[in-house]
Chain A
Amino acid sequence: MISNQTIEQAAYEIMGRAAIDIPDDYLSGIKGMVNTEEGDLSAFVLGAMLENYEAATEDRRPMCADTGLPRYYIKVGNEAKFDGGFIGLERALRSATARATHDVPLRPNRVHPLWRTDHNNNCGLNSPEVEWSFEPDADWIDITTVHKGGLFGSDYRMLFPGDGIDGIKRFFLDTLIAFGKRGLACQPAIVGIGLGGSKDICMVLGKQAACLRTVGDKNPDPKVAELEAELKELGNSIGMGAMGFVGSSMVVDCHIECGFTHTGGMPISIHTFCLSSRRATARLHADGTIEHRTDPQWFTPYMRREGIEWSNDASSKKSA
């Protein structure tokens, strides 16, 4: 039985870890880009960011003062037992958010869209967002938090099957160029693309692709993985680097997630997870122990199931 207190403690702990410690996969990606960046200004920016990550970890201070819109992704094992039920779990997440906002400190970013009311604890109407998923044959709960800014770098468009890969490439370029200028997207970014689904799921998949997959990860569908690589290269060939300065550092990695969509459409969403790509995950085991990591392992074979039944063997089903 996982206690409510364990859930709250883990949810609180990952808020601080996400805000302060840059995940290793993203750090390696940026280090690789510094070595190849020829633009002097863009390279200086990347170098300053590397110093900043170190300063954050040394001082236990948030790497970016815009601590974004803190939120949670929860994966519950089908065999997991936890007291307080789902309501207790959601209450623990809110309490952890409020405590972490004061203690880390996080910026109290959450306000009412019209009245700008700020509870100074990052909780409010529909905040923090909690997204749920499930995992067969597991007795643990995974809690992931993501801190992402929210003003620039995302867009959605309804494309049609006839627009093809050209349409995807154009929209990809449009979004990166528009938000890349002056570095509004805080690039180089992990670019997440949602393809298909209903409009709302298209947005959700793209955001999850950006925030919940690590640098170096590939889509299990080899043709989709090929497109990921092609788009990454296209983004880095724009001629733009960090802060929109001349350079080649735009896309640390590109992740695509697909959902079955309307036969007439090919909706697409694009999301950019920034130079402060903040995520942290805790696994709460049945015996009450907590394990920390930075790879959310969100897209399991079960999450990407295509048929009525599924298999945990990732190679057993492929669209391509």
Chain B
Amino acid sequence: MVERRKLKKVSLNIPASAEDIAALELGSIVFLSGVVYTAREGVYKRVLEDREQIPANLTAVSNANFHCSPAAAPDGKGGYRIGGVTATASFRFSKWMADWLDLTGTKIVIGKGGMSADDYKTVLAPRGAVYLTTVGYGTGALLGRGVKGVRDVLWLDEMGIAQAMWQFEVENFGPFLVDSDLEGNSLFAEQGELVNQNIEKLYEGLKPPALHRYGETGDRKKEVI
């Protein structure tokens, strides 16, 4: 077994306070207790573009938006059985985030794979918000264990299980890793830079193929998101 640095572990209550959020460090492991809500493209479109109302008490209950679709099914008793819980890739939701954070007062965004470093600097950090990434991906069973109940679900009939807005009561819900802080730094970007240092060497001596392709980047140091 090789020697490795031990990562810092933090437990947070939701709604999270400004102080708690300010204290989060890149690469720390986070577990959450309280209520987290799901919202992705379906909810963002419905609220921000079609002007439907969000639940009036949302901000008081939860300031953590999970980019997630649960594996869930009705339990036959008017409630729901939540199986696995895993995030979906967040970069696709970039265009809605500024308006969504302004409208809801959300301070913690949770998802898969982070958002661009630019989004952290210009959208999340200025609004006092940070990004937590799920781990793996994904630890669906561990996260499913952390969900203790469904507090509410909105637009289930109209949008289906995957896109509906779920409010989960959670306890010791995790693990997540802190990807961004209030200065707009990004763990993924920092790690990506380190990986990039090795890339040129990998391609040394390999001749390019005869037929080229149109593409948005031929620079492997760039990301495709």
Contact = CB atoms under 8 A, between A and B. Distances in A.
A182 B86 contact: no
B206 A40 contact: no
Interface residues of B, number: 63
A118 B162 contact: yes
Contacts of A242: 136
A302 interface: no
B184 interface: no
B18 interface: no
B70 A37 contact: no
Given A66-B86, A243-B133, A157 B213 contact: yes
Interface stretch (B52-60, B118-126, B193-201): B193-201
Nearest to A167: B209
B23 interface: no
Contacts of B113: 182-184, 243
Contacts of A246: 191, 194-195
A40 B162 contact: no
A41 B177 contact: yes
A237 interface: yes
Given A41-B7, A162-B210, A170-B209, A59 B195 contact: no
Contact of A104 (B5, B71, B198): B71
B209 A159 contact: yes
A81 interface: no
Interface in B154-211: 160-162, 175, 177, 187-188, 191-192, 194-195, 197-199, 202-203, 205-211
A239 B200 CA distance: 12
A59 B145 CA distance: 8
Interface centre among B7, B162, B199 (most CB of A within 10 A): B162
Nearest to A166: B206
A40 B194 CA distance: 14
A170 B138 CA distance: 28
A105 B140 CA distance: 13
Nearest to A161: B210
Contacts of A36: 2
Given A48-B142, A275-B136, A160 B211 contact: yes
Contact of A239 (B160, B195, B203): B195
Contact of B137 (A108, A174, A275): A275
B203 A62 contact: no
A43 B4 CA distance: 8
Given A104-B83, A182-B114, A64 B138 contact: yes
Contact of B71 (A35, A41, A65, A177): A65
A44 B29 contact: yes
A67 B195 contact: no
A113 B4 CA distance: 45
Interface centre among A64, A167, A234 (most CB of B within 10 A): A64
A238 B198 contact: yes
B88 interface: yes
B81 interface: yes
Given A51-B139, A64-B138, A246-B194, A169 B224 contact: no
B7 A45 contact: no
Given A63-B141, A64-B137, A244-B188, A106 B71 contact: yes
A152 B223 CA distance: 13
Contacts of B162: 107-109, 118
Given A65-B144, A108-B161, A239-B198, A158 B138 contact: no
Interface centre among B68, B70, B71 (most CB of A within 10 A): B71
Interface string B140-156: 11111100000000000
Contact of A59 (B5, B70, B141, B213): B141
Interface in A86-120: 102-109, 118, 120
Given A179-B224, A186-B136, A244-B191, 13 more contacts: A35-B1, A40-B7, A48-B175, A64-B84, A65-B71, A166-B206, A167-B209, A181-B225, A182-B188, A186-B138, A239-B195, A244-B195, A275-B136
Interface of A: 19, 35-41, 43-45, 48-49, 51-53, 55-56, 59, 61-67, 102-109, 118, 120, 151-152, 157-160, 162-163, 166-167, 169-171, 173-174, 177-179, 181-184, 186, 234, 237-240, 242-246, 274-276
